[in-house]
C-alpha cells in the first residue's frame, strides 16, 4: 500500500472510531467512508463528506455532526496536524508533512517498483485487441486500438493483474478465400496470364508485391499447377506475409502480443462442434428456416442469431463463441475485448453466448474504440495523399512519430470520437503535450548531469527535511498520487487518466523548476532537491513507459 493510501486508511479507521464513540451511528448504519483529495489546497490535504452522509441516520445538521466527529477524533493516531469544518459539513484534514518525504523515500528505495500495487490481486485477465483481418494494412482505427490496448495492459500489469495480450487472427472465413484468390489473380497477371481479380478482391499494392515475390522465388511453376494445390500455397503464403507485416508494424509501434490465436486452429482442434453441442444440450438453440439459431434473446440480445447457415456453414459468430469458450477454459477470469466502433452491435450476442455457456456476464467486458478523424490545416483528411486510400498506421508513425501517435491515442477516453490534429502532433513546440511531458524529463536529466559535474550525486539517504517550500510539497504530493492513479486507471480501463496524470506531474515539475533552484550553495538543500527531482524523473519515466512513450534524457 502506498503512503497516501495508508494515510487515507488510517484516517478512515479513526473516523469510524470517532463516529462510534460519539454515538452518531451504529456499526451497521455506517456509510462507506470516502476520503477525497480536495481540488483547492485551502481545503486541506484530504477531506471527507462523512458528516453529510450521516445527516439522515443521526438526524442532525451536518455541521453539528462534523463537530461531534472531530471532537472524538484521535488526530495523533491518524497523523493529522489539524482539522477544519467547512462548507455544508466537509471535514478537512491537514496532515503532518513527514508523509511527503516518505513518498520520495519509497520511490528512491525501489524505483522500478514505484506505482506497482496488488489492486488486481493477481487476477488472470486477457485482453484481446487489434485483431485486424490479415488481409491488408493497419489503419488509423487499428492504431488507436493498439495504443489503448497496449497501455491498458501495461496498466493492468502494474496494478497487480496477471495480464495476457492476445491477437485473434481471422484466418478461416471468406476474407481469406478472397485473399487467396486475389493473390492468385495477381500472380497470374505477373506471369502474363489472363486473370481477373475476384469481385471484392483486395486491391492493395501489398498483394501485388507478394505476387512478385512468388514469381521471383518460385518462377512460373504455379501457372499450370493444379488449382487446389496452387491455392493452398497462395493461401499459406499470403497469410504468412500479411501476418509478418502486421507483426512488424505493431512491433515498431511498440506493441507485442503473448498469443496470436488462429481461428483456423478452432477447426483443426475440433473446438467448435463441442460448443455447439453444449449450447444445444442447454436448450439454447433451435432449428428454423433450414438454419440453426442461438436463442440470444434469452440473455438480452434484441434478436436471435444464426449459428449454422442453411448452406451448412458457420456464421462468424460460431467460431467466435468457441474462441471465447476457449479463453475461459484457459483460466482467464476476466476477458477484455477491444473492438472497433463498427462492431458494437455485436456485443449483446457475444455477451449472451458467454452467459449461455454458464459464465458470469461480468467476465466479459468489451471496450469500444471510437472513430478517429484526422485533421490537417484545420480540415478533415480522409484519404492518404500518397496512396489515395485510408491513412495507414505506418504512415502515421512515419509522419507523426511513434511517441506523439501513442500519446495522442492514449490521451482521450477510448469510447469518445477522436479528432487527431496532425499539425499539433507533428509540431515540436510548446503546443504539443508529448514534448511538454518529455521536456520535463529531459530537464531533470540535465540538472542531474550538472549536479554530477559539481560533485553531487543522488543520495538515496538524503535528509529530506529541507523540502519545506510550497512548490517542494506540491511536487511531493503529485508524485505520491501515482500509485492510486495507476490502480484507478486500471480498474476503470481508462489509460487516458494516466496521460492526464503525467501531464499534471510535468506541469508541477515545470512550476517547481521556475520557482526553486535545485543546485544551490546550500549542500543539504541541494541534496534534498536532487532526491526530489530524481523521484519525479522516475515517476515521469515510468508513466511514459506505461503509455508507450520514450523518456528522453536530452531534447
Partner RNA sequence: GUCCCAGUAGCUCAGCUGGAUAGAGCAACAGCCUUCUAAGCUGUGGGUCGCAGGUUCGAGUCCUGCCUGGGACGCCA
Q: Which of residues 156-175 bind RNA (CB under 7 A)?
A: 170, 172-175
**Residue of the chain from 435, 483, 536, 539 that contacts RNA (CB under 7 A):** 435
Closest CA to 372 of 134, 144, 112, 114: 144
CA separation for the pair 110, 460 (Å, rounded): 10
* Distances in whole angstroms, Cα of residue 27 to Cα of each of 3, 62, 207: 27, 19, 69
Residue list 300-339, contact with RNA (CB under 7 A): 302-303, 305-306, 309-311, 313, 315-317
DSSP, collapsed to helix, strand or coil, labels residue 295 as coil
- φ/ψ of 197, rounded to 5, equals -65, 140
Q: Which string of x and - marks every residue 246-275 that binds RNA (by CB under 7 A)?
A: ------------------------------
* Least distance to RNA, CB of residue 4, Å: 12
**Residue of the chain from 428, 452, 459, 470 that contacts RNA (CB under 7 A):** 428
Q: Which three cell numbers stand for residue 543?
A: 508513466
* Least distance to RNA, CB of residue 532, Å: 11
* Least distance to RNA, CB of residue 215, Å: 28
Instruction: Report yes or no: 507 and 442 within 8 Å, Cβ to Cβ.
Output: no
* Least distance to RNA, CB of residue 417, Å: 6
Q: Which of residues 220 and 504 has its CB atom nearest to RNA in the complex?
A: 504
Q: Give the burial class of 39: count Cβ atoms within 10 A of its Cβ; 0-12 exposed, 13-18 middle, 19 or more buried.
A: exposed
With vertex at residue 415, the alpha carbon angle to CA 411 and CA 420, rounded to the nearest 5 degrees, is 45
**Residue of the chain from 26, 82, 225, 371 that contacts RNA (CB under 7 A):** 371
Q: Which string of x and - marks every residue 50-89 that binds RNA (by CB under 7 A)?
A: --xx-xx-----x-----------------------xxx-
Among the listed ranges 235-243, 247-255, 276-284, 344-352, the one in contact with RNA (CB under 7 A) is 344-352
CA separation for the pair 368, 348 (Å, rounded): 13
Q: Which three cell numbers stand for residue 241?
A: 506475409
Residue list 459-518, contact with RNA (CB under 7 A): 488, 492, 494, 496-497, 500, 503, 507, 510-511, 513-518
CA separation for the pair 433, 543 (Å, rounded): 14
* Least distance to RNA, CB of residue 360, Å: 20
**Residue of the chain from 10, 22, 24, 44 that contacts RNA (CB under 7 A):** 44
Task: Determine the distance from the C-alpha atom of residue 391 to the mean position of all C-alpha atoms in its chain, rounded to a whole number.
Answer: 23
Q: Which of residues 37 and 363 has its CB atom nearest to RNA in the complex?
A: 37
Task: Determine the distance from the C-alpha atom of residue 492 to the mean position of all C-alpha atoms in its chain, rounded to a whole number.
Answer: 10
Residue list 104-133, contact with RNA (CB under 7 A): 133
Q: Which three cell numbers stand for residue 238?
A: 499470403
Q: Which string of x and - marks every residue 173-212 that binds RNA (by CB under 7 A)?
A: xxx-------------------------------------
Instruction: Report yes or no: 144 and 409 within 8 Å, Cβ to Cβ.
Output: yes
Amino acid at each position: 500500500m502506498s503512503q497516501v493510501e495508508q494515510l487515507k486508511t488510517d484516517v478512515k479507521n479513526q473516523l469510524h472510531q470517532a463516529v462510534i464513540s460519539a454515538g452518531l451511528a451504529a456499526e451497521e448504519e455506517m456509510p462507506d467512508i470516502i476520503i477525497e483529495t480536495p481540488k483547492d489546497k485551502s481545503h486541506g490535504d484530504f477531506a471527507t463528506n462523512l458528516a453529510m452522509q450521516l445527516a439522515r441516520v443521526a438526524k442532525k445538521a451536518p455541521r453539528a455532526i462534523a463537530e461531534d466527529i472531530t471532537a472524538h477524533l484521535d488526530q495523533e493516531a491518524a497523523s493529522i496536524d489539524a482539522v477544519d469544518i467547512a462548507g455544508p459539513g466537509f471535514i478537512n484534514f491537514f496532515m503532518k508533512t513527514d508523509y511527503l518525504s516518505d513518498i520520495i523515500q519509497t520511490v528512491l528505495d525501489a524505483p522500478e517498483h514505484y506505482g506497482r500495487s496488488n489492486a488486481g490481486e493477481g487476477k488472470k485477465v486477457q485482453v484481446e485487441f487489434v485483431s485486424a483481418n490479415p488481409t491488408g494494412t493497419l489503419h488509423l482505427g487499428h492504431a488507436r486500438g493498439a495504443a489503448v490496448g497496449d497501455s491498458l495492459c501495461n496498466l493492468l500489469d502494474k496494478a497487480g493483474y496477471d495480464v495476457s495480450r492476445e491477437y485473434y487472427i481471422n484466418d478461416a472465413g471468406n476474407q481469406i478465400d478472397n485473399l487467396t484468390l486475389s493473390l492468385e489473380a495477381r500472380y497470374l497477371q505477373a506471369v502474363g496470364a489472363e486473370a481477373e481479380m475476384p469481385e471484392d478482391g483486395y486491391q492493395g499494392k501489398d498483394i501485388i508485391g507478394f505476387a512478385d515475390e512468388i514469381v521471383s522465388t518460385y518462377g512460373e511453376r504455379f501457372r499450370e499447377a493444379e488449382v487446389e494445390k496452387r491455392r493452398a500455397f497462395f493461401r499459406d503464403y499470403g497469410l504468412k506475409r500479411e501476418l509478418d507485416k502486421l507483426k512488424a508494424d505493431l512491433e515498431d509501434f511498440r506493441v507485442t502480443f503473448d498469443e496470436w490465436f488462429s481461428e483456423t486452429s478452432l477447426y483443426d482442434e475440433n473446438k467448435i462442434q463441442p460448443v455447439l453441442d453444449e449450447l444445444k444440450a442447454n436448450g439454447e438453440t433451435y432449428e428454423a428456416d433450414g438454419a440453426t439459431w442461438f436463442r440470444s434473446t434469452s440473455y438480452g440480445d434484441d434478436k436471435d442469431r444464426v449459428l449454422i447457415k442453411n448452406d451448412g456453414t458457420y456464421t462468424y459468430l460460431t467460431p467466435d463463441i468457441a474462441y471465447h469458450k476457449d479463453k475461459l477454459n484457459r483460466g482467464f477470469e476476466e476477458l477484455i475485448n477491444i473492438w472497433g466502433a463498427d462492431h458494437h452491435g455485436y456485443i449483446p450476442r457475444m455477451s449472451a453466448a458467454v452467459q449461455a455457456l454458464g459464465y458470469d456476464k461480468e467476465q466479459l467486458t468489451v471496450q469500444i474504440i471510437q472513430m478517429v478523424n484526422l485533421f490537417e490545416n484545420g480540415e478533415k483528411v480522409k484519404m492518404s495523399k500518397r496512396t489515395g486510400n485510408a491513412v495507414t498506421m505506418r504512415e502515421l508513425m512515419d509522419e507523426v512519430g511513434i511517441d506523439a501517435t501513442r500519446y495522442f491515442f492514449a490521451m482521450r477516453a477510448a469510447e469518445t470520437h477522436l479528432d487527431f490534429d496532425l499539425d499539433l502532433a507533428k509540431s515540436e513546440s510548446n503546443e504539443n503535450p508529448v514534448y511538454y511531458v518529455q521536456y520535463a524529463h529531459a530537464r531533470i536529466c540535465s540538472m542531474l548531469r550538472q549536479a554530477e559535474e559539481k560533485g553531487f550525486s543522488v543520495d538515496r539517504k538524503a535528509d529530506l527535511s529541507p523540502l519545506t517550500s510550497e512548490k517542494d510539497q506540491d511536487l511531493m504530493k503529485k508524485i505520491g498520487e501515482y500509485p492510486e492513479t495507476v490502480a484507478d486507471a486500471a480498474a476503470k480501463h481508462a489509460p487516458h487518466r494516466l496521460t492526464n496524470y503525467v501531464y499534471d506531474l510535468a506541469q508541477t515539475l515545470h512550476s517547481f523548476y521556475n520557482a526553486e533552484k535545485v543546485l544551490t550553495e546550500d549542500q543539504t538543500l541541494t541534496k534534498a532537491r536532487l532526491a526530489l527531482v530524481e523521484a519525479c524523473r522516475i515517476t515521469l519515466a515510468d508513466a511514459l513507459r506505461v503509455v508507450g512513450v520514450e523518456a528522453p534524457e536530452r531534447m
